[in-house]
Structure 1
Amino acid sequence: MRYPDAHKTQTRQRIVAMAALRFRAEGLAGVGIANLMADLGLTHGGFYAHFDSKEQLVATACSQALQQLNQHWRQLLEQAAPGECMAALASDYLSPAHRDLPDSGCALAALAGELARQGVTVRQRVAGELEAILATLAHARQRDGQPDSALADLAMMVGSLSLARLIDDAALSQQLLQQARERLVASK
């Protein structure tokens, strides 16, 4: 039986969405194609109707996750008053809720170390999304009347969130998030 094109598109999107979630929760190496497909009620062989390789899936899933983050940030910026843009982004990104939900959170904070060791296809796709994210951060600083520090802002945000997830001491983790938020807003 042949499925309509829309079914194939929907199935591919289900695979990408589940992979993005699982990669962030379990790491790239921790997710096998057979288990991923089984969790979706699909066959391992069916994977190859949508992707040539796991690398292609990693590139697609991580790219989509970063696009979603950037879209979320753009929505926050639309709602933020000039002068409050970085505060809105920092408060949202460096929150306990974001820290506690890595599977639906920032792919950079969850996977940066693993992504750096991926092939050129994955790194190029992620780099393309990073450019868009950096442009959003630069726009936030511009709306706040501040000089562009997007690279440093992103490094502080991703690094702080990653470390906050690593720390077992809840009070220390919260303190790290708070100090990073304050530093990002104070750099006016």
Structure 2
Amino acid sequence: MRYDKQHKTAIRQRILDMATLRFRSEGIAAVGIANLMADLGLTHGGFYWHFKDKEDLVAQACQQAMQSVDQQWQQQMQLATPGSKRLSVAQHYLSIQHRDFPDTGCVAATLAGELSRHTPATRQAFTASLQQQLATLASAAEQDGDSDAPP
């Protein structure tokens, strides 16, 4: 039976979502492809229709997770009153909710130590996403009127 493109896209997203959650909560090394796919009710072999290998999944899961955090920061900035955008982001980042649930929290805090042992491509994907987050923080500083904010 052939599946349409939307089905393949939806399955790929389910794999990414589960991997993102499990990598942050358990660590990259602790998550195997076979048990990840089994948790989703999918076969191990089906993984390779969506990703080249585990390293490809790690890079994409990290990017997705960091983009999600960046989007949360941008939402905090939009809701913040003028002059308190950085404070709003910091309060969100340092909240008990963020601290106590690493599976939805900061990727850098939970995975940076492990990522140092991954391929240059994976580290580069992580670094690019981290640079985007830094740009968001710089934007918050600029919007707050901080003249010392980096360009």
Which TM-score applies when normalising by structure 1?
0.77
Q: Which runs of 4+ in 1 moved over 4 A?
A: none
Matched with 2:117 is 117
CA–CA separation in structure 2 for the residues paired with 1:87 and 1:25: 27
CA–CA separation in structure 2 for the residues paired with 1:110 and 1:16: 17
CA–CA separation in structure 2 for the residues paired with 1:104 and 1:86: 21
Q: SS of the counterpart of 1:91?
A: helix
Greater share of helix: 1
Q: SS of the counterpart of 1:102?
A: coil
CA–CA separation in structure 2 for the residues paired with 1:8 and 1:119: 27
Amino acid at match of 1:142: E
Matched with 2:22 is 22
The range that moved more, 21-30 or 72-81, is 72-81
Matched with 2:96 is 96
CA–CA separation in structure 2 for the residues paired with 1:107 and 1:97: 15
1:90 is displaced (CA, Å) by 0.8
Amino acid at match of 1:75: Q
Aligned residues: 150
Please give the per-residue CA displacement for 1:106-160, whole angstroms capped at 9, x wherever unaligned. Answer: 111111101122101111111111121111000111112222269xxxxxxxxxx
Residue 10 of structure 2 corresponds to residue 46 of structure 1: no
CA–CA separation in structure 1 for the residues paired with 2:118 and 2:54: 11
Matched with 2:149 is 148
Once the two structures are superposed, the pairs formed by residues 28-177 of structure 1 within 5 Å of their partners are 28-146=28-146, 147-148=148-149
Q: SS of the counterpart of 2:103?
A: helix
CA–CA separation in structure 2 for the residues paired with 1:133 and 1:99: 18
Amino acid at match of 1:12: R
**What stretches of structure 1 of length at least 5 have no aligned partner?**
151-188
RCO greater where, 1 or 2, for CA within 8 Å and sep 6 or more? 2
CA–CA separation in structure 2 for the residues paired with 1:62 and 1:74: 18
**What stretches of structure 2 of length at least 5 have no aligned partner?**
none
Q: SS of the counterpart of 1:82?
A: coil
Percentage identity across paired residues of the two chains: 56
Q: CA RMSD in A?
A: 1.2
Matched with 1:8 is 8
